[in-house]
Structure 1
Amino acid sequence: MTTAVPLIYSFPEFSGVAEAVADHIVAAQNHALYGDYNRKKSLSDTNIASQFSGAAESMRLTKSVSEHHSASGNGTNTSSSSREQRKKKKEENRRFRIGLSGGSLINVLREGLLKRQDVEWSKWDVYFADERLVPFDSPESNYGKAKSQIFDNIPPEKGYPNIFPIEENLLNDPQECADTYEKTLIKGFASKDSVKLPMFDLILLGCAPDGHVASLFPNHETLRESYAWCAPVLNAPSGPPTRITLTVPVICHSHRVMFVVEGATKAPVISTIMERPDKGLPASIINEKAAGRIAWFVDDDAVKDVVGITKKRYKFLVHSE
């Protein structure tokens, strides 16, 4: 049995999964941009609250300090005003940094996100947890599918996210493609400071019937990569053979990791992930190493006959405006 106890939210239908996933993403967006999961409603689910902890107290202390300085004379008022301006500018420049995988996850995101009015697309920085080294117009391209299914359908008045795909001219050189994408990550996450690993606000993952996650395959050498942020994948056992992928340390360093899994064909692998982590499937490794920051959103078919798990009822955090 898994030693990590993730949040598992199960729904009878696909639409329920999509709506809950979208809500959880918007909550993560609000937390990243404003230091709070929701500026209107208090949190009622204490398990989810632990994923967004500390923000409210930090905001209260900031307000208290600001009010104290404002009452301390003209010189202090000027200093306080300057600090408030810097704080406001910093908040205006905040970005929601998210990593996406591909496959059926894109369909879930399209169904859940596009109908919401509170997705602040113009403040998103979108990276990819993995990519198949195929042309962008191929149905196998994660970026191509996300662009056609989601990003091209964002209403113009909502703005457009910053999107960071791979370099299409490097499809024939997996190592150079991975190295170049790592440089993209460094520019986005460590342009001013030296950091060991990037910290995404949220990484969204699916899970294949063989337990592979992003393009991390069972028993593949990329699972042992501990230094690189992005690694090439050669001779993938299914689908396009050449790919790049974020490594396990990068995925597990994210503030939050969300698995989105649906369908009866996934039930056997979900059972293995939850009941036999010793099998070392990529999804099991991430489930263990990112313990406390993992949430699973599944339909009932995907967890049919899986023992030893507790399915929770999802309580919506944000009401779409």
Structure 2
Amino acid sequence: MTTTVPAVFAFHEFAGVAEAVADHVVHAQNHALAKGSKDGKLSSSNNLNGEKDVSRVSSTRSVSNVSKDKKGKKEKEVRFKIALSGGSLIQVLHEGLLKRDDVQWGKWDIYFADERLVPFESDESNLGQAKRKIFDLVDVEKYGKPRVFHINEKLISDPQECADNYEKVLIKGFAGRDSVKLPMFDLLLLGCAPDGHIASLFPNFQENLREKLAWVIPVEKAPSGPSNRISLTIPVICHSHRVTFVVEGATKAPVVKTIMERPEKGLPSSIVNEGAAGRVSWFVDDDALTDVFVTKKKYKFCCDA
């Protein structure tokens, strides 16, 4: 593995991380919903690292809710497709997004990078946590209601069936009647645990990091936390238009040091840094970078609310 270095934005405290991540998300939202040219390509704009970026061709990119093809037929509604993980990331989004007035919630399609196979009312459920701390607090009359795509709660006793079912949800959302190799999220947000796992992909655990074909996999007998889970795979994560890690706290510093300074160790985050090179950003507080040798960038706010 090469020493691919992602963009690392550091802040003195949690509030700074939350504010910048929210701006980063809104910028990704605006870019995804931006007006397309006649040939379907988005015009050039600044990407999330302040550099010029020309996005891919996509029939779902248009300034209006519903675009039309050359024959005047209605095409798919323009949506911002985002995937979230759980844990402290949800609190970061709670702190940063809910106070903004430029989040177009009604145009969001929200998926989950992973899920713990527990009832939704459990504090360990990513959906449950996101619902209580974010979705239930959105003023839907003012901003619209996001579409949230989650696992089937009735299948949590069977990890394989639950993973297969959620993969079908992704296929319907990203492929429809077309054939696509992998889904492409506009933005995928991840945390990183002290043990190095991202989503529900654990270091040196089973063969999960080597999965090449499936979009969603079952994770059974996980080393920590709820035993059974489902997770997006490394190819899906790396195929995202933008991948963003949000990490805070001194307890994360040792694993961040390994990720940034010893990529050859093959931690999941290091694999993503390499596989999605040029599209990966890290938002961290100073505590998470304790004794970590890495070049920090100053985040330039793009979408002040």
Quote the offset at 1:288 in angstroms.
Answer: 1.1
TM score, norm. by length of structure 1:
0.85
Q: Is the alpha carbon distance of 1:2 and 1:306 closer, same or farther for their aligned partners in structure 2, counting shifts above 3 Å?
A: farther
In the other structure, the counterpart of 2:89 is 105
Aligned residue for 1:312, secondary structure, equals coil
User: As a proportion of its length, which structure holds more helix?
Assistant: 1
- Are 1:314 and 2:268 counterparts? no
TM score, norm. by length of structure 2:
0.89
Superposed counterparts of 1:26-65, under 5 Å = 26-35=26-35, 43=46, 47-50=49-52, 53-54=53-54
Aligned residue for 1:311, secondary structure, equals coil
In the other structure, the counterpart of 1:134 is 118
Quote the offset at 1:49 in angstroms.
Answer: 2.4
The code of the aligned residue for 1:194 comes to S
Q: Deviations over 1:155-196 (max 9, x none)?
A: 132111000110000010000000000000000000021000
* Contact 1:2/1:275, CA 8 A, preserved across alignment: no
Total equivalences in the alignment:
286
- The structure, 1 or 2, with the larger RCO (C-alpha pairs under 8 Å, 6+ apart) is 1
* Contact 2:117/2:230, CA 8 A, preserved across alignment: yes
- Are 1:279 and 2:265 counterparts? yes
Quote the offset at 1:86 in angstroms.
Answer: 4.4
Note the aligned Cα RMSD (angstroms). 2.2
Aligned residue for 1:251, secondary structure, equals helix
Aligned residue for 1:10, secondary structure, equals strand
- Are 1:152 and 2:136 counterparts? yes
The code of the aligned residue for 1:30 comes to N
Superposed counterparts of 1:292-303, under 5 Å = 292-303=278-289
| Aligned pair partner of 1:224 in 210, 218, 227 | 210
Quote the offset at 1:109 in angstroms.
Answer: 0.2
| Aligned pair partner of 1:205 in 157, 165, 190 | 190
The code of the aligned residue for 1:4 comes to T
Percent of paired sites with the same residue: 67
Paired with 1:115 and 1:144, the residues of 2 have a C-alpha distance of: 21
* Contact 2:9/2:299, CA 8 A, preserved across alignment: yes
Q: Deviations over 1:49-90 (max 9, x none)?
A: 24xx125xx9xxx9xxxxxxxxxxxxxxxxxxx868949x65
Paired with 2:199 and 2:79, the residues of 1 have a C-alpha distance of: 23
Quote the offset at 1:278 in angstroms.
Answer: 1.1
Aligned residue for 2:203, secondary structure, equals coil
Structure having the higher Rg: 1
In the other structure, the counterpart of 2:100 is 116
Q: Deviations over 1:194-227 (max 9, x none)?
A: 0000000000000000110000001122111100
* Contact 1:2/1:276, CA 8 A, preserved across alignment: no
* Contact 2:27/2:303, CA 8 A, preserved across alignment: yes
Quote the offset at 1:93 in angstroms.
Answer: 1.3
Paired with 2:71 and 2:300, the residues of 1 have a C-alpha distance of: 36
Quote the offset at 1:48 in angstroms.
Answer: 2.9
Quote the offset at 1:319 in angstroms.
Answer: 1.9
Paired with 2:228 and 2:133, the residues of 1 have a C-alpha distance of: 23
In the other structure, the counterpart of 1:3 is 3
Paired with 1:311 and 1:174, the residues of 2 have a C-alpha distance of: 40
